[in-house]
Amino acid sequence: MIYITAYPLTQRINPMRKLLLTTATVAAAIAGAVAGEPSFGTITDTRDGKTYKTVKIGKQAWMAENLNYPTVRGSWCYENSADSCKKYGRLYEWYTAKTVCPSGWRLPDTADWEMLCTTTGKFVGKKLKSKSGWSNPGDGISGNGTNNYGFSALPGGFFRTHDRKFIDAGENCHWWTATEYGSGSACFRSLHNFANGWLTGATGKDNGHSVRCVADSGGVVRTKAGVPLAAEPLFGTLTDSRDGRTYRTVKIGRQTWMAQNLNYRTDRYWSYGDTTEFNVSYCYNNDTSYCDKYGRLYDWETALTACPAGYHPPSLEEWGDLINHAGGMCVYDEKRDDLVSYECGWWIAGTKLKARNGWNRDPYTANGTDDFGFSALPGGIRYSNGYSGGIWYSNGYFGNAGDAGAWWTADTLDGGRHAYQYIYYYRSTAEIYGNKDNTDDRRWHSVRCVADTP
């Protein structure tokens, strides 16, 4: 079984890796971005006479309940209980899920789910979860949602075939998508009682997940090649008036990004003690050919003001929007008192955003597919001091070019750590990390700028 997530699905998020926001921010985001009123209806499955509630959200028509059509093989009731099937619907293996929807309906693929996320906006999980039925994750936090759109997601759990166990009813739900991830796995979307977003992952096709059907006439409009039109990037260029350098740009979803790392030279220095002097930006290994290939490496304070006019360093939330559009994962998690936490990571989206070449080691696992023209390259990192190859460097050293890329965000994590996105050569995933960035442990990372106005 394969889960393309940063932690097992039964494990909770580490609160030490979260960005703290105010509850007012979350309340405003949940109250806003409700794109039109949903419209409701019903359908009757002619195969067994069951009637299901439906809801139209944006341009899509969805079943507002999980499917509960019994099959000869490849489906289960949670804990083999008919009451669970009545409450949560059935759990299906992927091959069965592919063909189990009633006439006029189908198993949604990742593009269909992405369209739903785009329509609902931030905090998609909170908005889709039912107002009751979800267990509390602890710390006085409610696992229930606001059900803004009548999607009425309930925590039906899942079935794990390798040990024949039913897992986490009341805590989470997993829905199959029609999108495969390799020969033995397929992608899913899941909601959890501890999160206001949703998670994206992949798992073995023989496991049991819920099914939400989407109407044939209400899914994503596709080109002849089967590519969602909504996912097609738009390309352009921008010229930095400060030095005349031109960069490629790409519009992905609702955002316009630079499609190359920033390479604007800064000449400011800062000193550490009487003998050590550091620049605020560097070419890797102090070699200008690396700047031409990867862009420059900046300290965090410089990164905040380094982007050209009309662009800025992205926040964690903006990285999250990009990743979510690319099929990744964003988690918004309520915390105690007046704090709200945010965590984001590149799961499946990492491979889609990496360049098709330029990553070291095994080219079949290190390079990406660059589906959106983002062309992420492994520009490496500069460290203020530390060990490299068994040697102590007190005046700084460079590492990981070709193997890893790290991009500053504009945000700060708990403890004053500056947040950055990190992706490594052998993973299709990436994670958020934070660096205190003091004189004893200073870092220089790449910068990708995003447009002020998409």
| Lowest-confidence region among 12-26, 37-51, 394-408 | 12-26
Whether residues 137 and 83 share a domain: the answer is yes
Has residue 362 got a pLDDT over 50? yes
Higher pLDDT, 66 or 373: 66
pLDDT of residue 325: 72
The answer to whether 253 and 232 are in contact (CB under 8 A) is no
Give tens-digit pLDDT for 322-334: 876 776 543 333 3
The distance from CA 301 to its chain's CA centroid, rounded to whole angstroms, is 26
Give tens-digit pLDDT for 83-101: 999 999 999 999 999 999 9
pLDDT of residue 220: 41
Higher pLDDT, 35 or 20: 35
* CA quadruple 307, 309, 314, 319: dihedral sign: negative
Has residue 345 got a pLDDT over 60? no
Whether residues 270 and 251 share a domain: the answer is yes
Q: Provide Rg for the chain, Cα atoms.
A: 23
Whether residues 207 and 267 share a domain: the answer is no
Spatial neighbors of 145 by CB under 8 A, at least 6 apart, are 125, 126, 127, 128, 129, 130, 131, 134, 153
**111 part of a folded domain:** yes
pLDDT of residue 232: 59
| Lowest-confidence region among 10-14, 61-65, 106-110, 418-422 | 10-14
146: left (phi over 0), alpha (psi -120 to 50) or beta: alpha
- The whole-angstrom separation of Cα 224 and Cα 234 is 19
* Residue with the two structure tokens 């005349």: 244
Residue 237 vs residues 35, 240, 261, 262: alpha-carbon distances, Å: 31, 10, 13, 13
pLDDT of residue 388: 53
User: What is the mean pLDDT of the segment spanning 228-241?
Assistant: 74
pLDDT of residue 270: 58
- The whole-angstrom separation of Cα 147 and Cα 356 is 40
Has residue 408 got a pLDDT over 90? yes
Higher pLDDT, 399 or 267: 399
Whether residues 96 and 208 share a domain: the answer is yes
Give tens-digit pLDDT for 421-443: 877 766 555 455 666 554 445 88
- The whole-angstrom separation of Cα 202 and Cα 3 is 5
Residue 31 pLDDT grade (very low, low, confident, very high; cuts 50, 70, 90): very low
Give tens-digit pLDDT for 192-203: 888 777 777 788
Whether residues 100 and 146 share a domain: the answer is yes
User: What is the mean pLDDT of the segment spanning 24-49?
Assistant: 61
Q: What percent of the chain has pLDDT over 70?
A: 73
- The whole-angstrom separation of Cα 190 and Cα 176 is 9
**20 part of a folded domain:** no
* AA letter at 2: I
Domains: count for the chain: 2
Whether residues 131 and 255 share a domain: the answer is no
User: What is the mean pLDDT of the segment spanning 108-120?
Assistant: 86
Higher pLDDT, 444 or 17: 444
pLDDT of residue 106: 93
Q: Which residue among 200, 229, 258 closes a domain?
A: 229
Tell me the average pLDDT of the chain.
77
Whether residues 268 and 171 share a domain: the answer is no
**199 part of a folded domain:** yes
**28 part of a folded domain:** no
Whether residues 53 and 195 share a domain: the answer is yes
Give tens-digit pLDDT for 304-324: 999 999 999 999 888 877 876
**363 part of a folded domain:** yes
- The whole-angstrom separation of Cα 440 and Cα 384 is 7
Give tens-digit pLDDT for 209-230: 999 999 987 544 333 333 333 4
Domain around 88:
33-229
Q: Which residue among 229, 257, 276 closes a domain?
A: 229
Buried b (16+ CB within 10 A) or exposed e, 73-98: ebbbbbeeeeebbebbbbbbbbebbb
Question: Mean pLDDT highest for which of 23-37, 165-179, 312-326, 338-352?
Answer: 165-179
**377 part of a folded domain:** yes
Residue 26 pLDDT grade (very low, low, confident, very high; cuts 50, 70, 90): very low
Higher pLDDT, 420 or 423: 420
Whether residues 296 and 198 share a domain: the answer is no
Strand ranges for 154-293 from DSSP E: 158-160, 165-167, 172-180, 185-192, 199-204, 214-215, 234-239, 246-252, 255-258, 269-272, 276-279, 281-282
User: What is the mean pLDDT of the segment spanning 168-173?
Assistant: 92
Whether residues 296 and 438 share a domain: the answer is yes
Question: Mean pLDDT highest for which of 23-37, 94-108, 355-369, 407-421?
Answer: 94-108
Q: Which residue among 201, 229, 257 closes a domain?
A: 229
Tokens at residue 287, please? 């070699």
Sheet containing 185-192: which strands, arranged edge to edge? Answer: 172-180, 185-192, 199-204
- Using CA atoms of 321, 187, 17, 366 in order, give the dihedral in degrees to the nearest 10: -90
Pairing status of strand 281-282 against strand 276-279: unpaired
Whether residues 208 and 329 share a domain: the answer is no
Tokens at residue 67, please? 């499917």
Start-to-end C-alpha separation, the chain: 39
pLDDT of residue 230: 40
Residue 28 pLDDT grade (very low, low, confident, very high; cuts 50, 70, 90): very low
DSSP 10-64: TSPP-GGG-EEEEHHHHHHHHHS---S--EEEEEE-TTT--EEEEEEETTEEEES
Give tens-digit pLDDT for 257-282: 999 999 999 876 655 555 445 568 89
pLDDT of residue 364: 52
Tokens at residue 22, please? 């105010």
Question: Mean pLDDT highest for which of 2-6, 108-112, 349-353, 429-433?
Answer: 108-112
Residue 182 vs residues 29, 90, 187, 202: alpha-carbon distances, Å: 36, 25, 10, 9
Residue 18 pLDDT grade (very low, low, confident, very high; cuts 50, 70, 90): very low
pLDDT of residue 97: 93
pLDDT of residue 250: 93
pLDDT of residue 228: 39
**10 part of a folded domain:** no
pLDDT of residue 161: 87
User: What is the mean pLDDT of the segment spanning 289-304?
Assistant: 94
pLDDT of residue 88: 96
**15 part of a folded domain:** no
Whether residues 258 and 327 share a domain: the answer is yes
